[in-house]
Structure 1
Amino acid sequence: MKTSFREVQGAAALSGESGRLDGIGMALGITGAVLFSMKAVLVKMAYGVVPDLPVVTLMVLRMGLSLPAYILILMIARRAGQGRIGIRETLSAMAAGVLAYYICTFLDFQGLKYITAQLERLLLFTYPAFVVIFGALFFGGRISRAGLASVALAYAGLAVVFLRGDMTASDNLWLGAGLILLCAALFALFQLIAKGFIDRIGARVFTCLAMIGAATALLVHFFVSSGGLSGMIAALQLPGQLWVIAVALAFFCTLLPSFFINMAIGRIGAQLVAILGMIGPLATIVAAILVLGEPFGLWDGIGTAITLIGIALYTVVAQRSAKPRQT
């Protein structure tokens, strides 16, 4: 029997026959969103220490410092008999990780060279719009009028920011924004793909395989771009301050939230994780203002509020339409 996209949404969003929301899943989603939201601030801090730092080098620092933990956790999970899958499904999970944690991260880090941390987080936050579009195109979902109106409201808020806001100050605004929006679209596709893997093999095993897959692709990239092993060693001769930032980026903004978010998706679904992630842009704005000294004016506040309201309304609409009918 084929399961529809709407049924998947409903089953993921509700816990148990009573339909009560999963409190642990919600807590994981909120915590993961806040930790992930600090990533943009730390990346901007890293570029402040080494302005010409290559994106791939920063990615290697982030992934290299967190990879041993993923390998260890995977070994423990496998020894406990969790996530026993074949080579084909293992490679598929790793390929999904390449999409989310290598390609999306590269686009994100590159985009952050051109735009503010606040704008990056706000643009990424619109990924639920891509979730519903891809759900309709590839997973048998439907786009309601209310859903379309909510998405339109979210992008109207972005239009306000782009037309009148201070956070858009950049010499390469459209290039940076385009890279981040492409990242958001690909990450939405990953979220829809990830749900199936998490249901079959569990969040821990899937997260580890996804990260290992991304790390493998990244190391190949770094090896080629550096011109071999000696070039890799030379590229990592960096200031101590940058290594401190890299450790924080790897542990607090990669290792912990990657598990929290995927566990949340497994418990409450991608749609509800999206609305809980509303705290992410707000946390980024506060940190960017206090730590980075980025500008934030009245129109930025108005546009941000409109965007957050639009995404919240969209997710509420999606949740209502996803609830399974009583029989």
Structure 2
Amino acid sequence: MDSLVLTSHARQHYLSGLLIAIAGAVLFSTKAIVAKLIYRYHVDAVTLITFRMAFSLPVFAGIALWQMRQSAALPAADRWRLVVLGLMGYYLSSFLDFLGLQYITAGLERLILFLTPSFVLLMSAVYYRRPVSRLEWAALIVSYLGIVLVFLHDLKFGGADVLLGSLLVLGAAVSYAVYLIQSGQLVMKLGSLRLVSYAMCVSSAACIGQFFILRPGSMLLQPAPVYWLSLVNAIFCTVLPVFMTMIAVKRIGAATASQAGMIGPVSTLFLGAFFLAEPITGWQLAGTVLVMGGMYLLSKKKI
């Protein structure tokens, strides 16, 4: 009886982590829509990411200070790892992503970013000798097939800058995969709140410092909608999904959390239709079914 209770509890723990990962992915994917709306006001990527991190910094700084009072001092090695995580995960990755969004559609951006699970699985298998189950590969393949169908029309997008934008976003995907792998090792030691708040403070400082190096202070003066959209970008597309992703990583592991995030492209599809008036085709709906099928396979993973 005790073993059955433990198994049931473990299943609930896994499924709750999977749901948190999916919800975080949906919120995180919304940043592409918000970015496209902000770009309508002729704001560049450097300024966009500065507003995003400046509005989210007070939340992360407050949590970081609280965690510092509650926890022992970090060893020097862990401090450097946190600095690297902050620079790789939410500075470099976010900057490359928003920079690439200036050249390609939100749909193509989502397609490229969700190569991340492949990088996470490959890095886990090569560097940490983590076995990849057939079910995980099946979920990955089914979901990727769905993503390809969902955004097939975006792959026909022309223009001289498409290759540049695609490479920038690909760099963002690789950077974020490294972040997920490294955070998966460190989150068990520090806890999700402490890890995320410290790393995001580093990232925020880097983004804001970059702005004052590359742009004049006068560019901080923008139309009111830019500030409101940036606040949405900071709270709902940054703060909430960042913590939800870390909680999910702690519960179900970096690889599974990354795979669950493949629901993001589907959410971007419907959000784009609602906010940007982008049409939804039969091919896109078929892709949605496949991605949801991949999520179902993940929910059936044995633990």
1:40 is aligned to 2:29: no
Relative to 1, partners in 2 of residues 1:242 and 1:148: Cα closer, same or farther, differing over 3 Å?
A: same
Query: CA separation in 2, counterparts of 1:48 and 1:24?
Result: 38
Query: CA separation in 1, counterparts of 2:199 and 2:49?
Result: 15
1:88 is aligned to 2:77: yes
Q: CA deviation at 1:247?
A: 0.7
Query: CA separation in 1, counterparts of 2:201 and 2:260?
Result: 27
AA aligned to 2:59 is A
AA aligned to 2:257 is V
Match of 2:68 in 1: 78
AA aligned to 1:290 is F
1:220 is aligned to 2:212: no
Q: CA deviation at 1:137?
A: 1.8
Relative to 1, partners in 2 of residues 1:310 and 1:252: Cα closer, same or farther, differing over 3 Å?
A: closer
Match of 1:165 in 2: 153
1:20 is aligned to 2:11: yes
Q: CA deviation at 1:110?
A: 1.4
Q: How does 1:233-248 map to 2 (within 5 A)?
A: 233-248=217-232
Contact kept, 8 Å, 1:122 with 1:281, in 2: the verdict is yes
1:189 to 174, 178, 188: 178
| More moved, 143-152 vs 267-276 | 143-152
Relative to 1, partners in 2 of residues 1:244 and 1:220: Cα closer, same or farther, differing over 3 Å?
A: same
Query: CA separation in 2, counterparts of 1:173 and 1:243?
Result: 28
Q: CA deviation at 1:71?
A: 0.9
1:208 is aligned to 2:200: no
TM-score normalised over the length of structure 1: 0.79
AA aligned to 1:269 is G
Query: CA separation in 2, counterparts of 1:157 and 1:33?
Result: 16
Q: CA deviation at 1:300?
A: 3.7
Relative to 1, partners in 2 of residues 1:316 and 1:29: Cα closer, same or farther, differing over 3 Å?
A: closer
Query: CA separation in 2, counterparts of 1:32 and 1:212?
Result: 20
TM-score normalised over the length of structure 2: 0.85
Unaligned runs of 5+ in 1: 1-14
Relative to 1, partners in 2 of residues 1:292 and 1:167: Cα closer, same or farther, differing over 3 Å?
A: farther
Relative to 1, partners in 2 of residues 1:256 and 1:91: Cα closer, same or farther, differing over 3 Å?
A: same
Q: How many residues align?
A: 296
Match of 1:63 in 2: 53
AA aligned to 1:21 is Q
Query: CA separation in 2, counterparts of 1:294 and 1:169?
Result: 14
Match of 2:278 in 1: 294
C-alpha deviations, 1:193-217, integer Å up to 9, x for none? 1011110111011001111111222
Q: CA deviation at 1:33?
A: 1.7
**Secondary structure of the structure 1 residue equivalent to 2:104:** coil
1:30 to 10, 13, 22: 22
Contact kept, 8 Å, 1:83 with 1:202, in 2: the verdict is no
Unaligned runs of 5+ in 2: none
Query: CA separation in 2, counterparts of 1:133 and 1:57?
Result: 34
Contact kept, 8 Å, 1:165 with 1:299, in 2: the verdict is no
AA aligned to 1:76 is W
Query: CA separation in 2, counterparts of 1:133 and 1:272?
Result: 13
C-alpha deviations, 1:142-176, integer Å up to 9, x for none? 456776566555555555567x5257534233333
Relative to 1, partners in 2 of residues 1:188 and 1:127: Cα closer, same or farther, differing over 3 Å?
A: same
Relative to 1, partners in 2 of residues 1:83 and 1:28: Cα closer, same or farther, differing over 3 Å?
A: farther
1:128 is aligned to 2:117: yes
Contact kept, 8 Å, 1:167 with 1:296, in 2: the verdict is no
Query: CA separation in 2, counterparts of 1:186 and 1:308?
Result: 26
Percent identity of the aligned residues? 32
Q: CA deviation at 1:46?
A: 0.4
Query: CA separation in 2, counterparts of 1:223 and 1:166?
Result: 35
AA aligned to 1:245 is L
Q: CA deviation at 1:49?
A: 2.0
1:105 is aligned to 2:94: yes
Q: How does 1:299-318 map to 2 (within 5 A)?
A: 299-303=283-287, 305-306=289-290, 309=293, 315=298
